[in-house]
Amino acid sequence: MLPPAFVEIAQLGKTYETPSGPAVIVRDFTLEVAQGEFVCLLGHSGCGKSTVLSILMGLNTPTTGGVVIAGREVDGPGTDRGVVFQAATLLPWLTVRENVRLALDQVSSRRPRGGAPRSVEMYLEQVGLAGQGDRLPRELSAGMQQRVGIARAFALEPRLLLLDEPFSLLDALTRMELQDTLMRLWEGSRRTVIMVTHDVDEALLLADRIVLMTSGPAAAVGKILDVRFARPRSRDDLVVDPEYFWLRDAVLTFLEEEAQGGSEPLCLI
Ligand SMILES: Nc1ncnc2c1ncn2[C@@H]1O[C@H](COP(=O)(O)OP(=O)(O)O)[C@@H](O)[C@H]1O
Ligand SMILES: [Mg+2]
């Protein structure tokens, strides 16, 4: 018998009440994610990606179905999950160091005795912010703020990382730098990640599997692609691999077909 999946999303559905009546956004979304897997969730703008992710975060309740993480049903937010949103949600009156320390302190009682000591400085160094601990968030660029957000998420040592388009507001160069930082951190920790993105190349660089969502209304899992490039990965290696173009084409074809059938315009970076 196969071991149970680490994350089980079963027949998830979400209907929002709107002035013009109930709107079925997600219906029968079912997905299993293995421990240590990096999954990218990709689909058109407005299809319901953030809705699914916010239910995983425990910030939103499903109308039908549910989510089980490591055998426990999600019924609210918790420090077992690290989250990163589009824009960094740092506490503005605390320094960079204090923002990350808050996360470390939240889980200090959970850490087994004798475990390797973790320090704020270590996490800051891992995201390329060594020496920046005394600065306030407003003194940092958007990309640096997002680095703090990633450091904070990893400092929770979460079982699951949930990232909702964390790099989509950054310029192309900064986005690539942060993708590399995230990839290195993930390769060193192999935490389970579910990341929403609408950037095909980002998904191909980072993911073990790309889960393509249909356009909705009543969006569900439309197609799942295995991304089997050897790790550690580099952009240079990927772009000379014929499999890269085949997969890229499969994603774009799916999205184009969904755009024709769906109600939302094609929106790709
Ligand atoms: N609280 C809400 N009430 C009503 N409609 C909502 C609410 N949140 C999201 N929606 C609608 O649900 C759809 C999916 O939204 P979302 O999950 O944010 O999509 P995505 O992240 O894929 O862009 C959108 O049409 C959005 O307008
Ligand atoms: Mg969204």
Residue 244, SS3?
Answer: helix
Is 252 part of a structural domain of the chain?
yes
pLDDT-above-90 percentage for the chain:
88
Note the pLDDT of residue 269.
Answer: 40
The values of phi and psi at residue 15, to 5°, are -115, 125
Is 93 part of a structural domain of the chain?
no
Q: Is 260's C-beta closer than 6 angstroms to any atom of ligand 1?
A: no
Q: What is the DSSP letter of 117?
A: P
Is 68 part of a structural domain of the chain?
yes
Q: Is the pTM of this model over 0.85?
A: yes
Ligand nearest to the backbone CA of 61: 1
Note the pLDDT of residue 2.
Answer: 65
Which residue has the least CA distance to atom 3 on ligand 1? 16
> Is residue 262 over pLDDT 90?
no
Helices of type H across the chain: 49-57, 96-106, 120-126, 142-155, 172-189, 200-206, 235-238, 242-261
Is 233 part of a structural domain of the chain?
yes
Domain boundaries, position 43: 1-78+191-203+213-269
Is 100 part of a structural domain of the chain?
no
* Torsion region of 261: left, alpha or beta (phi above 0 gives left; psi -120 to 50 gives alpha): alpha
* CATH code for position 219: 3.40.50
> Is residue 116 over pLDDT 70?
no
Is 133 part of a structural domain of the chain?
no
Query: pLDDT for 173-219, tens place per residue?
Result: 999 999 999 999 999 999 999 999 989 999 999 999 999 999 989 99
242 — pLDDT class (breaks 50, 70, 90): very high
Q: Is 126's C-beta closer than 6 angstroms to any atom of ligand 1?
A: no
Domain count, the chain: 1
Please check whether residue 58 is in contact with residue 215, taking contact to mean a CB–CB distance below 8 angstroms.
no
Ligand 2 centroid from CA 46, angstroms = 7
4 — pLDDT class (breaks 50, 70, 90): confident
pLDDT-above-70 percentage for the chain:
93
97 — pLDDT class (breaks 50, 70, 90): very high
Query: pLDDT for 44-56, tens place per residue?
Result: 999 999 999 999 9
Note the pLDDT of residue 263.
Answer: 46
Is 229 part of a structural domain of the chain?
yes
Which residue has the least CA distance to atom 24 on ligand 1? 46
Q: Is 206's C-beta closer than 6 angstroms to any atom of ligand 1?
A: no
Q: How far apart are CA 185 and CA 150, in angstroms?
A: 9
